[in-house]
Amino acid sequence: MKVFFWMTFVACLMSTITMAQSLENSFTLKEAQAYALEHNYGAQNAKKDVLAAKKKVWETTAIGLPQIAAEGTFQKFLDIPVSLAPANSFNPNAPEGELTELQFGLEYNNSLALSASQLIFDGSYIVGLQAAKTYKELSINNQIKTEIELKEGVAQAYYTVLIAEENTKTLTLSLSTLQSMLKEAEALYSEGLVEEQNVDQLKLNVNELTTAVGIAKGQIDFATKLLQLQMGMDIGTPMLLTDNLDTFIGELTTPIVTQEFKVENHIDYTLITTNTRLMQLNHKKEKFSFLPSVNLFFNHQQQNMNNKFDAFSGGKYYPATVVGASVRLPILTSGSRLAKMSQAKIEWEKALNQQKEAEQGLIYKSQLANSNMETAHETYLNQKENMELAKKIHDKTVKKYNEGMVSSMELSQAQNQYLTAEGKYIKSLLDLFTAKSELKKSYGNE
């Protein structure tokens, strides 16, 4: 009894844990998309790119802010440098041509220095700061694009799992019906009431449908793993999708997008125009390279010199302070600056051409996506009607078979026709969701 009690307790505990895990990893479509925005590796890297771009803006800004540096040096001459000079410069009686050795310097030479500088004007710096801010904007737009594509990718994977589950459910139900028919046929055959061919035909159908169910279950597994990959979840983690496929199908009966397409609202167009601005700023930077740059500087130094080390024991320090300005103006570069400016202008012009091409391409994709959506929706309605007709024919054939009015071959044909129609319906459903996703992406602003 004790063993039975503990086994029951453990079973209940495991069931509770499993239920808790299922609740923890249950997702509606919106919850799955929100989870992906937080955990998907690409989304995380896009956020890091924005942070890096913000740091880049500050790095560029800091170039134009005051720069202060401190420096300390310690020198001990093991051998004080020797200089030679004519001896008669110090001793008029010294012979002509005689040299004397002189040591200039002391054994210890220590110094402390403080320097500061401030950029007053530099055209390249001004443009560089504008470019850094534009680059940050580009990173933010890239993050937006990543999130748009990620949400649509998660949605498509979510739909695929639900469709795969629906397909498996339909095939499993058909298999259950066939297995019951086979069991009845085997019983009738044992009593000599039906031919062996009828039993064999049903066995063949059961075997084929069993294989189809196994494949369908495998498709659920792989579709779920793809969804987990998109979401940034560990593959193989138990999860439950709580949205209903019928809800999404119902949404497709109403217009998907009611807004007017505007190319300037598309994230891809925003990205290409931002890149064009970067090319324009690069051209501007090369133009500004012809202008002078102006800097202010300040330097203060305290120097300690002696034949013994007394830098920290009352030794005397000798100050030296300088303040000034520097102006740098390039005069002759043998045409290299003109060449760079010309190259930058060419790249800017190319970017303008790419922007125009992108504009026309996005308009074309939007119109194509609308057309594909209409076609996919019409195909879906046709395949749905065909599947319902095939199922109706199949059900009537099963009834006639049970009444002995049709052969097992006719039943097999009706079964295959139904399964083929059901497969085409599933494909049309996938195509419809894909067309919906492409239509939403063609607007590029969700």
- pLDDT, tens digit, 9 for 90 and up, residues 190-244: 888 778 888 888 898 899 889 999 999 999 999 999 999 999 999 989 999 999 8
Within-domain flag for 51: yes
Note the maximum CA span of the chain.
150
Within-domain flag for 18: no
**Which of 307, 328, 349 is where one domain is finished?**
328
Percent of the chain with pLDDT over 70: 93
Q: Are 445 and 267 in contact (CB under 8 A)?
A: yes
- Per-residue confidence (pLDDT) for residue 2, from 0 to 100: 46
Within-domain flag for 421: yes
Long-range CB contact pairs, 339-342, < 8 A, 24+: 340/286, 340/289, 341/283, 341/286, 341/287, 341/289
Q: Please, which residues have CB within 8 angstroms of residue 348's CB and are 6 or more apart in sequence?
A: 276, 279, 280, 282, 283
Q: Residue 158: pLDDT above 50? A: yes
Based on the fold, state whether residues 112 and 126 are members of the same structural domain: no
Q: Please, which residues have CB within 8 angstroms of residue 59's CB and are 6 or more apart in sequence?
A: 132
Q: Are 143 and 364 in contact (CB under 8 A)?
A: no
Based on the fold, state whether residues 375 and 227 are members of the same structural domain: yes
Based on the fold, state whether residues 75 and 54 are members of the same structural domain: no
Closest CA to 301 of 107, 75, 110, 77: 110
21-25, 76-80, 81-85, 362-366: which has the minimum mean pLDDT? 21-25
Q: Please, which residues have CB within 8 angstroms of residue 206's CB and are 6 or more apart in sequence?
A: 175, 178, 179, 182
From residue 263, give the alpha-carbon distance in Å to each of 68, 139, 280: 49, 20, 21
Mean pLDDT, rounded, for 79-106? 83
Based on the fold, state whether residues 45 and 156 are members of the same structural domain: yes
Based on the fold, state whether residues 233 and 284 are members of the same structural domain: yes
Q: Are 72 and 113 in contact (CB under 8 A)?
A: yes
Within-domain flag for 349: yes
**Which of 328, 347, 377 is where one domain is finished?**
328
Which helix H or strand E contains 167, and what residues bound it? helix 123-190
Q: DSSP assignment of 102-148, as one string?
A: EE-S-SEEEEEEEEEEEEEE-HHHHHHHHHHHHHHHHHHHHHHHHHH
96-112: b (≥16 Cβ within 10 Å) or e? eeeeeeeeeeeebbbbe
Q: Residue 393: pLDDT above 90? A: yes
* Coil/strand/helix, residue 25: coil
Mean pLDDT, rounded, for 87-98? 83
Q: Residue 33: pLDDT above 80? A: yes
Which helix H or strand E contains 233, and what residues bound it? none
- Amino acid 28 reads T
Output the pTM of the full model.
0.80
Which ranges of 232-335 does DSSP label H, i.e. alpha helix?
Answer: 245-251, 267-288
Q: Residue 288: pLDDT above 80? A: yes
Distance of alpha carbon 59 from alpha carbon 67, whole angstroms: 13
Based on the fold, state whether residues 129 and 188 are members of the same structural domain: yes
Based on the fold, state whether residues 278 and 203 are members of the same structural domain: yes
Closest CA to 113 of 318, 415, 278, 367: 318
Closest CA to 380 of 252, 245, 247, 200: 252
* Coil/strand/helix, residue 67: strand
Within-domain flag for 360: yes
Based on the fold, state whether residues 107 and 215 are members of the same structural domain: no
Q: Residue 321: pLDDT above 80? A: yes
From residue 12, give the alpha-carbon distance in Å to each of 18, 21, 25, 74, 406: 10, 14, 20, 77, 51
Within-domain flag for 6: no
Based on the fold, state whether residues 55 and 202 are members of the same structural domain: yes
Number of domains present in the structure of the chain: 2
Distance of alpha carbon 141 from alpha carbon 276, whole angstroms: 14
Based on the fold, state whether residues 320 and 361 are members of the same structural domain: no
From residue 188, give the alpha-carbon distance in Å to each of 165, 182, 306, 314, 404: 35, 10, 121, 120, 12
- Per-residue confidence (pLDDT) for residue 446, from 0 to 100: 65
120-157 pLDDT tens trace? 988 888 898 999 999 999 999 999 999 999 999 999 99
Q: DSSP assignment of 26-38, as one string?
A: EE-HHHHHHHHHH
Percent of the chain with pLDDT over 90: 49
Structural tokens at position 308: 């013994």
Based on the fold, state whether residues 305 and 352 are members of the same structural domain: no
Within-domain flag for 7: no
- Per-residue confidence (pLDDT) for residue 98, from 0 to 100: 86
Q: Which domain CATH number covers 54?
A: 1.20.1600.10
- Domain of residue 108 covers 69-120+296-328
Within-domain flag for 128: yes
Closest CA to 443 of 358, 367, 352: 367
Based on the fold, state whether residues 131 and 190 are members of the same structural domain: yes
